[in-house]
Each structure stands twice: as C-alpha cells, then as structure tokens.
Structure 1
Amino acid sequence: MRAEAQNTADQISKSLELLAQRLDVETAPYRLEEFNARVEDPNLWDNPDAAQKLMRERQSLVDAIDTYEGIKQELADNVELIELGEMEEDEEVISDAEAALKALAEKAAQKELEALLNGEADSNDTFLEINAGAGGTESCDWASMLARMYVRWAEKKGYKVDLQAESAGDEAGIKSATYKIEGHNAYGWLKSESGVHRLVRISPFDSAAKRHTSFTSVKVYPVVDDNIEIEVNPSDIRIDTYRSSGAGGQHVNTTDSAVRITHHPTGIVVTSSEKSQHQNRDIAMKALKSRLYQMELDKRSALVNEAHENAGDAGWGNQIRSYVLQPYQMVKDLRTNYETSDTKGVLDGDLDGLMGATLALAVSGKSRAEAQGD
C-alpha cells in the first residue's frame, strides 16, 4: 500500500486496539449471553427502573461489540480492495478505498474517545447549570448564548433536553438556567464543560461599539441513578415556593409553583420552576441528590476536583475557555490549548473537538497518576 494509506490503516488499528481493551473483547460474548439470559427472566419487568437500566446496559454492550466488529471488518475490506486495485492497476478502486479508509479513521477516532467514557457516572443523564457572571446585561446575553450552544450540541447528539428552571435577565438574556439532558454518556461528555467561559466581542448593547469581556459559569453534575442511594436528612433542608421569573409568555407561573431547596450543611441551592409545584419539588430533590453525589465523586477523583475548582467565581483567573469574536475569531480551551477559528460552528454546538481534547487529556493524566502510584 501507499505510505499515506498504510499510515491511515495503522491509525485505525491502534484505535481498534484501544476499543478491544475497553470492551474486553475476549469476554464480551459471554457477558452478552449473561445479559440475554437476564432479559428472558419473566419477572424482569416487576421492577421497571431496574429493567430499563439492564436493557440500556445490554444495548450499550451490543453497540460496543457491533462498533468494534464493524470497524475491524471495514478495515480488512478496504485494505483488500487497495491490494486488489494495485494488482490490477485500477486507480479508481484504489482511490475509492483510500477515501473510505480516511472516513473510517475519523469514525474510529471518535469511537475511541467514546470508549474512554467509562467513569462511574459517565453513562448517566446530566444536569447542566448556567449562571451569568458579573457584567449585567452583557453576561446575561452571554449566558443565553451558551445555553443555546449546549442545547444545539445535545440535539445533534440526539439527546433529550428538558429545561428545569430559568431566570430571565433584566434587559436581555438569562441570569441562570438549569437543563436536564438525557442520553447515553451525556454526563461523560459534558462533565469537562464545568468552569468559567469567557467571551470577548464588540457589545451589541454599547452605543460606542467598544469591546467587552463577559463571564459565565457552567456546572455539570450527573443525574443520580435509582440504584445509587443518597440520603438527605429532612432537617438539613429548607423548601421554599415562589413565583417564577421566567422568560415570559406561557411559561410564566401565575401561582407560587416554583420550588427552591436549600441544603444547609453544604450550602447547595437548587431550583425548579417549569412544571407544577409537585413536579418541581420532585425535580429539585433529584437535582439536590445529584449535586451531593457529584460532591462524593469529587472526593474520589483528584482530576474531577481540579476541574471543579476551576468552576469558581465567574471572573478573571478562573476561566477554562475563551471565545473571542473581535478583533479576531478564535475559541481556545486553556487546559488543553486546543483552538479553532470556527467560532460560529462552536456556538452552533460543534463541541466534540473541544470536549474530546479535554477528555483525552484527563485520561492521559489519570494514566500517569496511576503509573506513579504503582
């Protein structure tokens, strides 16, 4: 094979090695047989939540096996086509197979990243909380831009997005918003987004057309699985009801149906304002348990601790990423130095490159820490 095609094939083979390692390819068929036996249990759906969790885990294993076998077979097929084309000196066959190999390499690299999402809660649904920093209308507008960016990203992933609570800005944008994002690996992908996001642009609210810098903080924490027990002492919390101050229209409550829960030992405050009072109370309690669970995960992981320490006050010195729209176009992650000039694409939800770089850095850092520990 030509050198470039050989390099591409080698890249795919390396991705397959990691996929095989994460899948534990030798035991995968036996684990699938075990899942299938449990699925056939006539009493399975006596506990719907446990049954759904089992079905999700089984499907995740099936998808992983299919992905590995599919990439492996496609690599072999295209290598064989290239060799056949070289034997017959058929340049069209060679060119088509090489193009297919390049596309396969991109797919394999993406699946390789997804295979790294094997943390305790990575596969869970997630809560995403956005809070405007200091800066008034500018920061509120920036918060709404970030909210749109994450919603677009989630929609492209095929995830379900549910607005849990929102507080409108005084003139524009939002002061805060909380979303529940449902889908496989939602937390695993989004957890790296916790921190302060900085925007530099010509302000649309400044008649003098001066450049402004705005800050907004993002916090991400996993939705607690029903099999994870998080105890909340009723005496440790205060539950308040109030009237929503949402963005307007049909979503504004006319009764005190919004719910705020304050957890005194930790100072955590969670709210829900988009449903009925009963639903809001349930949503807020689940959000509180998720926050408490995140704190427990933080204690176990120095890497996560470091990421969440970065999610401090929304201001100078705490930012994880900068979005510059003037005088030039650039988005740069300050942890990985990954950067792109496609600011429009990023703000439209094209975040996988930024997230993938952070995920790969975290995994390599964890590997180094484990090696030093040994």
Structure 2
Amino acid sequence: MRDRTRLETALKNYRDLESALSDNVELIEMGEAEGDDEVVAEAEASLRAARDVAAERELETLLSGEADANDTYLEVHAGAGGTESNDWAQMLLRMYMRWGEAKGYKVDLVAETQGDEAGIKSATLQIKGHNAYGWLRTESGVHRLVRISPYDSQARRHTSFASVWVYPIVDDSIEIDIPESDVRIDTYRASGAGGQHVNTTDSAVRITHNPTGIVVQCQNERSQHKNKATAWTMLRARIYEAELQRREEEAQEQAASKTDIGWGHQIRSYVLQPYQLVKDLRTGVEIGNPSAVLDGGIDPFLAAALANKVEEKEQATAEVAE
C-alpha cells in the first residue's frame, strides 16, 4: 500500500504539471489574441509557479538511495560551551521540527536531555514521512552559530557549535541480526517533563552495542517495555546507517572531489551578528534571512546538498570506470 500510494502520488504530480503547462500556454495564446494583458500575466505567473514545483519534483527523483524513502531519526547534540551551546542545540531542534511539520511529516520527540540552565544537551527526533531520510541525510555534521549572546551581561559576540546526526529508520524488509550477547541494556529514571510516574520509575532505557560502541536511549514513553522496543529500533537503524556510510565511502574513495560530511565536520554557519547570513560551506548556498532559516526554511540547503551529493557519486562512478 505504501508503494502504491507513492506511485499514485508521483503520477498525480506529473499529470498536474502537464495540465498546468498546457492550460496556461493556451491561456497565454488566448490572452495575446484578445489583447488581454491581465490574463497573460496571470498565466505566466502560474507557469513560473509550475516551474518551481517541477524543479522540486526533479530533485525528488534524485532520492533513489537504498534508504532514502525511509522515515528517519535526527539527533542534536550541544557542543562545548555550556548554556550557549545548549541554547543553540534547542534552536536547531526547533528548526528541524518546524521543517518537518511544514512538510506534512509526523515529528515526535523520542528523547531529550535538558541543559543545566537553558536549552538542551541532546535530543532525538523521529520524523515519519516519504523521503524523510533522503531529504535530511546531508544534514549530519557540525552547525555553527555566531551571535550576541542573550546570556552575556556584557552583550559580547559568541560562537557556539552543535552536532546533528541523521540515520534512517529500518523497516521490516531489512533484516539486521543483533545477538543479545553483543549488547548491554540499562534502565534509569527519565529526566525533564513527563509527570510524577516518569520521573520516579526506571522507565528510560539505554542500549549499548559493544562491538561498535553505539549507544541509543529512549525515555518518551511511560512504559519501560515500549521504550526498550523503540531503543532496539534505534539501534538497528544506527547499525544500518553505519553500513550505508561504509558502502558510500568505499564507492567514493577514488573521487578526488569527495567532500567529507561525516560526524564532527562543520557544514553550515549561521551568523546573526555582526551581519545576517546563513552559509552552507559545502555547496556555497547563502541565505541572508537567518530568521526564516531557523523557522524551518532549509529547503534550499537540502536541495543543493542533495544535488551535490549525486554529482559527487556520478563523478566517483565515472573515475572508477576509467
């Protein structure tokens, strides 16, 4: 049913664009013949809108990776810097939540660790929707903020860092065998909001995968059983993502232009002071309205990074073939 819905949507999108093109071309011809400039202008505006939609649909055809269509987890971790970085991590978390909601995706907060004074130390989102992972997978890396600190009494400029990690939710069609002897399961009391029961019982679950050192945790449910099930799903997703990353690195190892966007590498700067600019350091895309970006308007960055990724893959394939 999911594949059928995806195909029906793709066909409908194509037919809508085809209809918009023919209808508006016909309107322009009629308007020019009758000397009606207003009709011509409206039809031309509709054609420009259709062109933008077509460009987005073209980008979606690039989402053909093994897991691109899957739902995704997105983790945000504050860097060193205490309250400043914690606040920046919370701003990033809100940005991705607003983006997901605008896309019509289902966004759930799976785990969250509050900062000591403000913001968050870390948080994990579960984002469900077609191509959620494909759109967000290039967001993994370090995000840098420059601003006048609201927590500095002397109003000095501060630079803060936060890390983002994106990995796909593995569906039932992908089998990943994890022996229980390879993991350690710990339970603990959840922190933050959630009511008396959440904070006084060991409902939160942490799973450590000993061979890889991967650690996942979940605390959003009152039931330890449900948190454990979610944590297992997250662990399978993380191990799967690591395997996808390994395959991609092997495929691109001979590409001289390869850009490393793995964990721990800065990918984007958000400057609020002394000027207003958000710049992606991989693609060069710049937006002079940080407020709109932090309100979820990250599509230009996602589109450029996706196109760049596909181009790199094609170059790597061509060089390997040579």
Following superposition, the deviation at residue 93 of structure 1 comes to 2.1
- Give, in angstroms, the shift of residue 178 of structure 1: 0.7
Question: Pick from 275, 280, 289: which aligns with 1:333?
Answer: 280
Deviates most, 258-267 or 239-248: 239-248
Q: Is the 8 A contact 1:243 1:255 kept in 2?
A: yes
Distance apart, 1:274 and its partner CA: 1.2
The equivalent position to 2:105 in structure 1, one of 151, 159, 164, is: 159
> Counterpart in 1 of 2:141?
195
Q: Structure 1 residue 80 and structure 2 residue 80: aligned?
A: no
Q: 1:122-142: CA deviations, max 9, x gaps? A: 110000111111111111111
Q: Using a 3 Å threshold, how does the CA distance of structure 1 residues 251 and 369 change in structure 2: closer, same or farther?
A: farther
1:346-368: CA deviation from partner (whole Å, max 9, x where unpaired): 11111111111111111122222
- Quote the residue 1:230 is aligned against: 176
Q: Which residue of 1 aligns with 2:7?
A: 61
Contact preservation (8 Å) 2:261, 2:267? no
Partners of 1:171 and 1:331 in 2: CA distance:
27
Post-superposition shift, 1:111? 1.3
Alignment of 1:241-256 (within 5 A): 241-247=187-193, 252-256=198-202
Instruction: Name which of 43, 52, 59 aligns with 1:106.
Output: 52
- The amino acid of 1:151's aligned partner reads M
Partner of 1:131: 77
TM-score (norm 2): 0.93
Instruction: Indicate the SS of the match to 1:127.
Output: strand
Say whether residues 1:311 and 2:311 are aligned partners: no
Q: Where is the helix percentage greater, Structure 1 or Structure 2?
A: 1
Which SS does the other structure have where 1:103 is aligned? Answer: helix
For 1:60 and 1:277, the matched residues in 2 are separated by 35
| Counterpart pick for 1:281 among 220, 225, 228 | 228
The 1-side partners of 2:235 and 2:271 are apart by 34
Aligned equivalents of 2:156 and 2:191: distance in 1? 31
Any idea what SS the aligned residue of 2:313 has?
helix
Counterparts in 2 of 1:214 and 1:252: CA distance versus 1, 3 Å: farther
Q: Distance in 1 between matches of 2:88 and 2:179?
A: 37
CA distance in structure 1 between the partners assigned to 2:183 and 2:130 by the alignment: 31
The TM-score, its normalising length taken from structure 1, stands at 0.81
Query: More deviation in 104-113 or 331-340?
Result: 104-113
Deviates more, 1:294-303 or 1:267-276: 294-303
5+ residue gaps, structure 2: none
Residue 175 in 1 paired to residue 121 in 2?
A: yes
Q: Deviations over 1:128-164 (max 9, x none)?
A: 1111111111111111111111111111111111111
Q: Please identify runs of 4+ aligned residues in structure 1 that moved more than 6 A.
A: 303-308
Cα separation, 2, equivalents of 1:226 and 1:252:
30
How far 1:96 sits from its partner (Å)? 1.5
Query: Which digits, 9 at most, give the CA deviation of each residue in 1:208-251, with x for residues without a partner?
Result: 11111110000000000101000101111000011112257568
- Pick 1 or 2: higher relative contact order, CA cutoff 8 A, min separation 6: 2
1:152 partner amino acid: R
Tell me how far apart the structure 1 counterparts of residues 286 and 197 of structure 2 sit (CA, whole Å): 38
**Conserved 8 A contact 1:192-1:307:** no
The 1-side partners of 2:22 and 2:5 are apart by 26
CA deviations 1:278-325 (Å, max 9, x no partner) are 01111111000000000111122138997775322xxxxx21000001
Q: Among 299, 309, 313, which residue is 1:366 paired with? A: 313
Are the equivalent residues in 2 in contact too, given 1:149–1:348 (CA < 8 A)? yes
The answer to whether the 8 Å contact 1:140/1:169 transfers is yes
Once residues 325 and 335 of structure 1 are traced to their aligned partners in structure 2, the CA distance between those partners, rounded to angstroms, is 20
Distance across 1 between alignment mates of 2:197 and 2:31: 62
Cα 1:146/1:230, change in 2 over 3 Å: same
- SS of the aligned residue for 1:104 comes to helix
Q: Distance in 2 between matches of 1:81 and 1:209?
A: 57
Cα deviation for residue 99 of structure 1 reads 1.0
Which residue in 2 is equivalent to 1:356? 303
* RMSD (Å), alpha carbons: 1.8
Aligned length: 315
Shift in Å, 1:94:
1.4
Deviations 1:167-213 (A, max 9, x none): 11111111000111111111011111100000001111111111111
C-alpha separation between the residues in 2 aligned to 1:117 and 1:88? 44
Q: Distance in 2 between matches of 1:256 and 1:65?
A: 49
3-state secondary structure, aligned to 2:173: coil
